[in-house]
Amino acid sequence: MSAKPQETVLLVGVGGMGMAPLAIYLAQQGKHVYGYDDAINPAAQALLSAAGVELLSTEAFPVTVQQVVVSSAIEPTHPCYLLAQERGLPVVSR
């Protein structure tokens, strides 16, 4: 019996009030979570890092990402959104 591969998710706008708790929850559920936010505050950054969320400093995200969750503040013209579409990844708006 082989282990189920770990699901990898990217949350764009991860520093927001709704997105940060979601990222932490997903990490606690065993998912590999990446986060991107172009204006994250230090307190949110510390909480997310402590929960195991890998924060990215660029919009270019790893090819291992299987799903993208975007904050309602993220426009469809955002580079992460466009890259997800280019890669054929499901994009879910929170």
Residues 89/45, Cβ–Cβ less than 8 Å = no
Across the chain, mean pLDDT equals: 93
Under the banding of pLDDT at 50, 70 and 90, the label for residue 94 is: confident
Tell me the two tokens of residue 11: 């949350």
Asked if residue 1 has pLDDT above 60, the reply is: no
pLDDT in tens, 20-57: 999 999 999 999 999 999 999 999 999 999 999 999 98
Which residues, at least 6 apart from 43, have a Cβ–Cβ distance to it below 8 Å?
A: none
| Neighbouring-strand partners of residue 54 | 34
Torsion of CA 62, 64, 86, 78, to 10 degrees: -50
Closest residue by Cα to residue 7 from 59, 78, 65, 69: 65
Q: CATH: 3.40.50.20, 3.90.15.10, 3.40.50.720, 3.40.50.10090. Which one for 8-93?
A: 3.40.50.720
Q: What is the pLDDT of residue 36?
A: 97
Q: Report pLDDT for 62.
A: 93
